[in-house]
């Protein structure tokens, strides 16, 4: 058995032992997932796409994408926590120096440390170039002040990749990236956000009040933070698309099973043409979204120049499909589809979140159209 097949087999084993039995407790009751995250590290799931020289398995990102689809079928929370962790880890891989990579990535790959990517701010939304968090030099350090919002893994993270302005006059080119540790004095975590789904999802605001960060924790050089962020977000969009595919696949499975068990006038509703039409549309849409997400992951592995285009298309389309498919599933369930305790009701609420996180669908369409229009001569 080759390593990739072994990883897929191990991922299935992990899901069967540590996610499926606790799905209801995580996704309905809000069971914290730190222990499950640590177990994912022990299983090597975090290490899948990371370089071997830093403790990773050296497999393609496409392999992790397949695993993310499997995870999100049963726990969007676990999939998104792992995705956010890898997002921050990739920021170090992309923007960090060799010393920083050796210092942090092996521990991140093992799940000994939990990471978080801190870019979004309360008043900037989808325009990262407008952030106001500032880092000012002071002797051998930077002093960071500012507030971040909707930060995944805030409250459980050991390190944060923080984007801050080191030169306010240069706009996006004045943004730098820093490794900030949770124990650094002056960091406070706000109240955990309560979303329409994923009650165990660790997401909160961060406040930086005169946080002192030594020079060696600057990623790359001053002014390169925006580039690091944009390259990292491409990876995050693929992961989000993968999670959306997983939700879609689960919604279809639940709907198909129910349609064969639910009888009207002595016939299973799966025998009605309208139900068959719904299921056909769901299946085709899911397969299309899956192929697009995997194509984007392939672009990432190849270092393709059009990765931003494919990452945006994958995230946009997969999240749209998740909403459409989960809506169909609710429709097939009828009144029960609107009832608490049925998976499709929860999946419908969860699916909508994927159209918002990691850049709204509207932002993805702007990215897509800009790439297409640039190619028109």
User: Which residues are known catalytic residues?
Assistant: 358
Q: What angle do CA 15, 19, 22 make, to 5 degrees?
A: 155
Residue carrying structure tokens 């994958």: 314
CA atoms within 13 A on the CB side of 83: 32
How many CB atoms are closer than 10 A to CB 168? 9
The b/e string for 226-260 (b: 16+ C-beta within 10 A; e otherwise) is: bbbbebbbbbbbbbbbbbbbbbbbbbbebbbebbe
Strands 115-118 and 203-214: unpaired
| Residue 44, SS3 per DSSP | coil
HSE-CB for 41 with a 13 A CA cutoff:
21
User: What ranges make up the beta strands (E) of the chain?
Assistant: 115-118, 134-138, 141-152, 159-165, 175-181, 187-189, 203-214, 218-219, 263-264, 267-268
What are 104's two structure tokens? 């942090």
Write the CA distances from 77 to 31, 32, 38, 220, integer angstroms: 10, 9, 14, 31
Query: 3-state secondary structure string, 188-213?
Result: EECCCCCCCCCCCCCEEEEEEEEEEE
């Amino acid at each position: 058995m080759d390593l990739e097949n072994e990883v897929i087999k191990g991922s299935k084993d992990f899901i069967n032992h540590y996610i499926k039995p606790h799905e209801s407790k995580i996704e309905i009751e809000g069971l914290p997932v730190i222990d499950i995250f640590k177990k994912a590290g022990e299983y090597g799931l975090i290490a899948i796409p990371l370089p071997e020289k830093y403790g990773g398995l050296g497999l393609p990102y496409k392999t992790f994408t397949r695993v993310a689809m499997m995870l999100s079928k049963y726990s969007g929370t676990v999939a998104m926590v792992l995705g956010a962790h890898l997002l921050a880890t990739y920021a170090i891989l992309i923007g960090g120096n060799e010393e920083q990579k050796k210092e942090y990535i092996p521990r991140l790959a093992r799940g000994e440390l939990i990471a978080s990517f801190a870019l979004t701010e309360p008043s900037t939304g989808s325009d990262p170039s407008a952030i106001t968090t500032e880092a000012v030099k002071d002797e051998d350090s930077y002093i960071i002040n500012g507030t971040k919002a909707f930060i995944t893994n805030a409250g459980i993270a050991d390190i944060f990749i923080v984007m801050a302005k080191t030169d306010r006059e240069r706009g996006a080119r004045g943004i730098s990236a820093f490794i900030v540790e949770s124990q650094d004095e002056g960091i406070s975590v706000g109240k955990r956000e309560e979303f329409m789904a994923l009650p165990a999802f660790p997401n909160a605001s961060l406040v930086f009040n005169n946080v002192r960060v030594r020079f060696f924790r600057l990623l790359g050089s001053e002014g390169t933070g925006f580039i690091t962020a944009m390259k990292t977000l491409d990876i995050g969009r693929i992961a989000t698309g993968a999670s959306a595919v997983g939700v879609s696949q689960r919604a279809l499975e639940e709907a198909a099973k129910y349609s064969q068990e639910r009888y009207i006038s002595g016939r299973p509703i799966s025998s009605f043409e309208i139900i068959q039409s719904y299921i056909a549309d769901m299946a085709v849409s899911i397969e299309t979204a899956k192929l697009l997400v995997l194509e984007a992951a392939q672009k990432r592995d190849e270092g393709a120049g059009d990765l931003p285009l494919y990452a945006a298309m994958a995230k946009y389309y997969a999240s749209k499909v998740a909403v459409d498919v989960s809506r169909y599933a609710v429709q097939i369930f009828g009144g029960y589809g609107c009832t608490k305790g049925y998976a499709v009701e929860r999946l419908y609420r969860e699916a909508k979140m994927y159209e918002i996180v990691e850049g709204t669908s509207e932002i993805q369409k702007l990215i897509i159209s800009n790439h297409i229009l640039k190619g028109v001569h």
